[in-house]
A and B are shown apart, each in its own frame.
Chain A
Amino acid sequence: MTLKLDKKDFHSFLQNLMNDYELFAPVQVAEGVAVYKKIEHPLEAARFSLNPQKPAKEVFFPQSETMFRYGKVGVKTEVTSTEKVERKRILLGARPCDLQAVSLLDEIFQGREYSDPYYINKRQATTVIGMGCSQPLSTCFCSSMEGGPFSRNHSDIFLIDLGEAYLVEVLTEKGKAFEKNPFFKKATQKDLKAAKSIEKNASNQVGAILSLEGIERKLDQMIESPFWDRVQERCIGCRVCTYLCPTCHCFDIADETLTTKGQRVRNWDSCLSSLYSQETSGHNPRPTNRERTRQRLMHKFNYFPKNVGRIACVGCGRCVLYCPADLDIRETIKEIQKG
């Protein structure tokens, strides 16, 4: 069913959602910087036309997350898990690339042998209101990665920015619960036509520029290749590409403690850090940046496909846009494919 939401009603609409749901949406935290956060007031929600700097994975897999609290009672230690999600949630405004990435994280955190309750509980409690990406950047390559700026995959409801209003497409059973929202109106033929044209423009802008065909097999043969020396030469190991990557899921686990009580937390970690794999003895199986940059790319284009049959890159372009050394993963992919 296709509906629409006038932008003048946007804040009232958010207020209405917040009565029953915790609402996560892009929030401007500094000049030009938006991240996905729980909003306390509708005015906090930034109506960004651009994709936020930090990916939407944060809503399900926070940068820092308490796993349980512990406290000493005599010789015993009591452990209280924080895995439960108290209220239903809405993720609003996530772009198709970030949502495709979430579907890849599902493969990891759902897992065949072990499920991760912290992630799964949040995921199950959340209705996803995705948003078409009407202004893709020159760094975007989602169309090469089985996605596209208007891919409806993994959205329960999908919004398209028409200027004065949003077109609202209800896509799943979960989404249907919102059909009767008082701020939704019926969309007109004119709205639908406008949305089509916006979608077409955006899709033309991104285009499919990369061929990923056979990259897993190519990389099978390249593990000892001098190619990695060239890749690592420019990388300064700052790790920004891994922190801002919507599919990167590595984390560290640490205890934070005050005398007799404390909490165990997990924090995003990065394979580009030397401490990441360094053992207590001092031995490091990935001693130089060569092995570490290789790990990052092999994981996305070889190991992940081997394990779940999908490439762990969605073409969001953040690593291209924010790399201080101007490394461009698209060029790296092209070189591998030439290789």
Chain B
Amino acid sequence: MKNPYLPIPMMVKKAFMETTDRMLRTLELTFQKEEDQKAFEFIPGQFCELSSFGKGEAPFGIASSPTENGSLKFTINRAGMVTTTLHHIEEGEEVGIRGPLGNGYPIDLFKGHNLLVVGGGFAFTTLRSLIAYFLEPEHRSLIREITVLYGARMPGLLLYKEELQEWSKRDDMKVVVTVDVGDQGWKGTVGLVPNVLKEVAPSSEDTYAVVCGPPIMIRFTLPQLKALQFPDERIYTSLERRMKCGVGKCGRCNIGHLYVCKDGPVFSLEQLNILPKEG
């Protein structure tokens, strides 16, 4: 019987600060054992529990794509004990990880359709995984048009800036990056994600929308998508909850009868509509 509570060791290959407020740090981890690497198969949208031994565990969405072999990327918001330790961990040091956990995005469902990705703030991690997955040359033809709308409060708080620039140069996708408040160097769009969405959204016909962001952004984005006539079954989001076990045993992360850790974290709006409103 596989023990789902035992972390496997991974090494910090690269660690760097993403944002100017120094609250978001990306860790690139490599497997220490070949058998662990082989056994680790994931899809975008899944997450892992990262261990800082002595402090505990916390869940993080996988920011890398399964097409980027050999390593896993996580972007960590410094908030509590575990995340603070993960902000101080150095390259060459070891962390424990458990996963992949959760259901991930319904990749097969998206195939053959258009994809609209709407992200805000540091919730862009698993969206980045999803986008990178479909931008992989052999996967690009699996879906039709890709539109990405990503926003942050300020330019300095955007994640994966270099990659965003590369994407915006591509002619096989549309990328709009917006900030709530610009600065002197900012040449891009200024405006809140829900407002910008109105202007840049593709037709809802044959399009799936994936939305991740702070609760306030989600709250104002969903009505916009409805106004654009996206049906609830084609709107997906990924939820966060306090979690411990990650495998549906310890209680805690449930919404109604579903556990965010094992039945989610990805849900369609259609699914969420019938669950109790606990937010």
Contacts and interface: CB of A to CB of B under 8 A. Distances in A.
Interface string B49-90: 000011111100000000000000000000110010000000
A81 B251 CA distance: 22
A115 B5 contact: no
Interface string A266-300: 10010100001111110101100001000100110
For chain B, what secondary structure do more than half of its interface residues adopt (helix, strand, loop), or is it mixed?
Answer: loop
Interface in B226-258: 240-242, 244-245, 247-257
B250 A269 contact: yes
A98 B7 CA distance: 33
B250 A253 contact: yes
A50 B20 CA distance: 64
B6 interface: yes
B184 interface: no
A75 B56 contact: no
Given A77-B9, A269-B252, A276-B252, A251 B92 contact: no
B79 A281 contact: yes
A282 B95 CA distance: 26
Q: Taking each of B241, B245, B279, which has the highest tally of chain A beta carbons within 10 Å of its own beta carbon?
A: B245
A280 B254 contact: no
A281 B92 CA distance: 29
A191 B250 CA distance: 45
B250 A306 contact: no
B244 A262 contact: no
Which of B2, B3, B92, B240 gathers the greatest number of chain A CB atoms within 10 Å? B3
A114 B249 contact: yes
B1 A271 contact: no
A9 to B, nearest CB: 39
Interface residues of B, number: 43
Interface in B30-60: 53-58
B56 A254 contact: yes
Interface stretch (A87-95, A105-113, A146-154, A156-164): A105-113
Contacts of A67: 5-6
Contact of A262 (B53, B248, B254, B276): B53
B60 to A, nearest CB: 12
Interface in A129-144: none
Contacts of B257: 302-304, 306-307
A232 to B, nearest CB: 15
B266 to A, nearest CB: 15
A109 B249 contact: yes
B244 A249 contact: no
Contacts of A83: 3
Nearest to B245: A253
Contact of A120 (B1, B9, B251): B1
Contacts of A223: 276-277
B251 A255 contact: no
A305 to B, nearest CB: 9
B100 to A, nearest CB: 12
Contacts of B278: 285-286, 291
Contacts of B248: 108, 111, 113-114
B252 A277 contact: yes
B25 interface: no
Given A115-B1, A116-B249, 12 more contacts: A67-B5, A75-B92, A79-B6, A79-B7, A115-B2, A224-B277, A253-B244, A278-B242, A286-B278, A299-B251, A303-B257, A306-B256
28 contacts: A67-B6, A70-B53, A75-B93, A79-B96, A81-B3, A114-B262, A115-B4, A117-B3, A249-B250, A249-B251, A251-B249, A251-B250, A251-B251, A255-B54, A255-B55, A262-B53, A262-B54, A264-B5, A264-B56, A266-B250, A276-B252, A279-B240, A279-B242, A280-B58, A285-B255, A291-B278, A298-B256, A307-B257
